[in-house]
Amino acid sequence: MKVTSNHFGTLPDQREVLLFTIENNKGVSIGLTNYGGTIVSLNVPDKNGICADIVLGFTEWNDWVKNEPYFNCIIGRTCNRIANAYFSIDGEDFKVSANFDGFQLHGGFEGFNKKLWNASVIETPDSAGVLLKYLSRDGEEGFPGNLFVTATYLLNNENEFSLEFQATTDKATPVNLTSHAYFNLSGEGNSSIYQHRLTLKADHITATDGNNIPTGEFEAVAETPFDFTISREIGERIQQLYKGYDNNFVLWNQSGAMSLAARVQEPVSGRILEVYTTEPGIQLYTANWFDGSLIGKCGKPHFSHSAFCLETQHFPDSVNHPSFPNVILRPGEKFISKTCWKFSNQ
C-alpha cells in the first residue's frame, strides 16, 4: 500500500492543486486530486488481470477545473436539488444560490466540487489514502453556519475503496454529501452501459415533477423500468424513459448501518462493483445529456449512456420534506456518512 503526490495544476489564483496516486497490492490504483476531492482515475483489473480506467474524465487540466458534468467529485453542502433554492429552519427562511433553472443543484455555483481542500496522506499496513479538509464559511452559497467537513478516501488490499464524510457546524444547516463518480466497468470509452447488469436494494423511488424535484410521494418500482430488485441490464428498458435514468431510489436499509445498496456486473470484462453505504437513498444517473462534445481521457467523445452514477445520499430536497430522512445538522452534532465501492471480478 502506498500513496504518492505530484503537481496536477494551478488555479487562476495561483494555488497549486495536487494529484495523489493510491495503490494497493492487488493492482488497483486511484488518482485523486484535492480540487473538489475529485477521482481522476480508477484502474481495476478484469477477470484476466488486465487493468482499465473505469471512471470518466478529461485529458486537459482546464476541463477538470470547469468540470461541468461533475465528474467524480464531492458534492455539497447539499447534493441533488433544493426546490426554489429555498428552505426554512426553525421558522427562519433561507434563500440559497439558484444555479439551475430556479432551483439549486449540487450545492450552487461553486459547491464543494469547486473548492481546494487541504490534504494529507494516510498510510497504514492495511490501507492507504488521503484525508481532505474544508471549512465552508457562514453564508457560502446562501447556507447558514460555518461547516467544517472532512472527507477520508481509503483503499485496502481487499479492493475496497471507501469515502467517509464527517461534518460539524456552529448553526443549524442542511448537509447532504455525496460522490458523483461516473463508472463504466468495461473501461472509459469502451462501450455503452446497456449490458451492465444492475441490482438495487430498493423497491420505491421518490416521485418527481418536471424538474426532477421530489413531490413528497413514493412510487413502487414493481412492473416499471425502475425495478432492479433482481439483476437486469441497464439498457433493457432505458428507452422507455425520457433520456434515461435520473432517479433517487429509496433503499431498504434506512437504519444508518453500513449495508449493500447496489451491485453492478459487466459481463465481458467480468468486473463487479458493489456499493455499500450508510445512506438511505441512491441516485441512479445514466449520463443522459452527453452529446459527444466532451472528449474523454481515452481520446473518445462522451455520449449519453456511456457511464452510470450511483450517488449515495439522503433524498433530494429533503430539507423541504419533513417526511424524508432529516438533513439538518445542528451545533453539537456530528454528521457521519460512509460509502464503500468494492471491486471484484469473475
Catalytic machinery residues = 180, 311
Locate all alpha helices (DSSP H) within 165-295, ordered by sequence: none
Beta-carbon neighbour count of residue 139 at 10 Å?
10
Stated as kind and residue range, the H or E segment containing 128 is: strand 127-136
**What contacts 37, CB < 8 A, 6 or more positions away?**
73, 74, 112, 113, 117, 132, 151, 153, 179
Largest CA distance in the chain: 59
**185 touches 271 (CB < 8 A):** yes
Q: Which residue has the cell 433561507?
A: 94
Sort 298 into a burial class: Cβ within 10 Å, 0-12 / 13-18 / 19+.
Answer: middle
Residue 109 CB neighbour total at 10 angstroms: 12
Spatial distance between the Cα atoms of 228 and 225, rounded to a whole number of angstroms: 8
Residue 41 C-alpha cell reads as 482515475
Cell of 252: 431498504
